[in-house]
Amino acid sequence: MLAPYALGAVAATFTLQKLRARLSLSRAKHPSLTGHSRMARRVAALVPFYEYDEATFFDSDDAPADVAARRRAGFARLTELYRTRFAETAARSAELEPGLSDLQFTSAYRVPFQYSRFVRQRLPAGSLVEASSGVRVTDLDGNQAIDLTGSYGVNVFGYDFYKDTLARGAERVRDLGPVLGPYHPCIAHNVQRLREISGLDEVSFHMSGTEAVMQAVRLSRYHSKRTHLVRFCGAYHGWWGDVQPGVGNPVPARETYTLSELSDVALKVLATRKDIACVLVNPLQALHPNLGAASDSALVDSSRKAHFDRAAYTAWLVRLREVCTRRGIVLIFDEVFSGFRLAPGGAQQYFGVQADLVTYGKTLGGGLPVGVVCGRAALMKRFRDDSPADICFARGTFNSHPYVMATMHEFLLRLASPEIAALYVDLDQTWERRADTLNQRLHEAGLPVQVASMSTIWTVCYTRPSRYNWMFQYYLRAEGLALSWTGTGRLIFSLNFGEQDFREVVERFVRAAQAMEDDGWWWSNEETSNKTIRRRILKELLAHRF
Ligand SMILES: Cc1ncc(COP(=O)(O)O)c(C=O)c1O
């Protein structure tokens, strides 16, 4: 008779425990939509398309007629400038676009969708360049622009550095050519140097940062025999499904927990759950914890925020390291972006925290595509001595391609040279000072723009509520500053920017902001706030949805 009661009690305890674990997981999510991947995907699916036309484009924030007229005149002036200055570049890009899906995507998502088509048709900057030199790139019309794109972070030391590593690397392996399978002997130096730099035992080579992350997670799951990976809210780790559980991935990532960063509750989840194989950290998030990488296509108001607090982030990483060690969770530093940029030894050196696995990519290829995993020997092993059929497979045709190994070889050789070592001296102080200089100039001119910086990685923030901040990217381009398709969301400087180069950036930046201010785009009145802007957009969305 007692048995059913006992069973019931056990079941109730079990359910209660599960419920408690579920609850603490929910509490460890960041309250924003970014922190709730499934919800974000559902909400994204509900967003209807609508757009502004000639009649509504210039006063979508209810600006008075005289302001709208100033905007219209400024826009016409820019249109004329773009039409003449970028004629060839824009025409050739337009020819290319119908057959190049990537270009269609980036062109469409430079600005909020409501404005996108109108702007694309009238301000086509083009996406073709044919030369680089120093800190500049040259388009098909011969225009030189100062490059603030950093080639997605690949360009750490300046384009001429990579031209050199590419040429020398190609020369080194010319006799071998594209032989795959056996390795060119230059790989040995790469392995040795990467072991030293990472402070870890072994290395594996892959073809992109995304693949390196895939392999790091797979190894963690294989060795821990646990299922789930933890990533932090907003952090980018490439486009593989498991690390991109929210918008952008058509299916849910069922074995991913997205937790709040810099959060005690998240640490509690790590300290109690038994299914967590690894934690992925993208050190770049220190600039904007719990927020996605800023892109102007999401710049619907002026609420973009960023602030780098090195001490706070270091303290967080130390606590994370401690809980991962205690719980046997693999701590992965994803240094695909931060590696070699913050310090020669990457974020591990910069924050003084040792990870179990580290991924590198981007610049490490010396100008060619690459992904690298470094790790402790016990974690890197892909088979079990006592279970020969239980392997962790990770082989790709182009892993350790001789040309990539050779350019990486040149990269690592030059990294150890005194000239490159000199670039890291006072790096943060230099770039903090430069950011302060620019901010001071903007402030003195009464312009509603400030930059936030983490060493050479910057983002532009806007201090006056506005729906039109994304227009700034077009004024910056008109002043000869090249931005990537995410616009003012991320500016990436290479370490070879000299004082004169930077002074020019300041002059152009301030001139662009002044022109945008003069053209009335930053108009607002007492009633305008980020909240009123968002409410207005919500109204528009609902009106178009229903
Ligand atoms: C931190 C981080 N991880 C992974 C990736 C993906 O690398 P890739 O674009 O080479 O696949 C990126 C790319 O931006 C990144 O910044």
Confidence of residue 44 (pLDDT cuts 50, 70, 90): very high
pLDDT at residue 546 in the model: 85
CB atoms within 10 A of CB 126: 23
The confidence band for 11, taking pLDDT boundaries of 50, 70 and 90, is confident
CA dist., res. 334 & res. 347, Å (int)? 9
pTM of the model as a whole: 0.95
Split at pLDDT 50, 70, 90, the class of 2 is low
When pLDDT is cut at 50, 70 and 90, the band that residue 99 belongs to is: very high
Paired strand residues for 332: 280, 357
Ligand 1 centre distance from Cα of residue 210 (Å): 6
> 206, 213, 217, 336: which to mutate for ligand 1, most atoms within 8 A of CB?
336
- The DSSP annotation for 470-494 comes to GGHHHHHHHTTEE--TTGGG-EE--
User: Residue 20: pLDDT above 90?
Assistant: no
Reading the block at residue 132, the tokens are 């680089």
- Is the pLDDT confidence value at 527 over 60? yes
Asked if 237 contacts 282 with a C-beta cutoff of 8 angstroms, the reply is yes
Strand partners, 449: 462
Position 13 scores a pLDDT of: 79
CA of 362, closest atom in ligand 1: 10
Residue 380 has pLDDT above 70, yes or no: yes
Going from the Cα of 360 to the center of ligand 1, the distance in angstroms, rounded, reads: 9
- Residue 3 confidence (pLDDT) above 80: no
Residue bearing the CA closest to ligand 1, atom 5: 238
Contacting residues for 220 by C-beta, under 8 A, at least 6 apart: 229, 277, 278, 330, 332, 357, 379
Per-residue pLDDT at 405: 98
Say if CB 333 and CB 347 are below 8 A apart.
yes
Closest to 35 in 3D by CA, of 260, 236, 228, 242: 260
Instruction: Give the pLDDT confidence of 259-315 residue by residue, as tens digits.
Output: 999 999 999 999 999 999 999 999 999 999 999 999 999 999 999 999 999 999 999
pLDDT at 16: 85
Model pLDDT for residues 453-494, shown as the tens digit of each residue:
999 999 999 999 999 999 999 999 999 999 999 999 999 999
CA of 211 from ligand 1 middle (Å) equals 9
Tell me how far the alpha carbon of residue 409 is from its chain's centroid: 26
The Cα-based distances of 444 to 50, 304, 349, 437, 441 in angstroms read 38, 21, 37, 11, 5
pLDDT at site 15: 83
Distance 110 CA to ligand 1 centre (A): 20
> How is residue 43 written in tokens?
């909400």
What CA–CA distance (Å, rounded) separates 219 from 280? 13
- Ligand 1 site, CB within 6 A: 152, 208-210, 213, 236-238, 282, 334, 336-337, 361
Percentage of residues in the chain having pLDDT higher than 90: 95
| Average pLDDT for 85-112 | 97
Residue 367 burial (CB count, 10 A):
24
Atom of ligand 1 at shortest range from CA of 238 = 6
pLDDT higher than threshold 60 for residue 1: no
* CA-proximal residue: ligand 1, atom 3 (nearest): 237
The percentage of residues in the chain with a pLDDT greater than 70, rounded to a whole number, is 99
Q: What is the largest CA-CA distance in the chain?
A: 90
Q: How far apart are CA 110 and CA 108, in angstroms?
A: 6
Residue 209 CA to ligand 1 center (angstroms) comes to 5
Q: What is the mean pLDDT of residues 54-75?
A: 97
Closest to 216 in 3D by CA, of 389, 374, 363, 325: 374
What's the 58 CA to ligand 1 centre distance in angstroms? 37
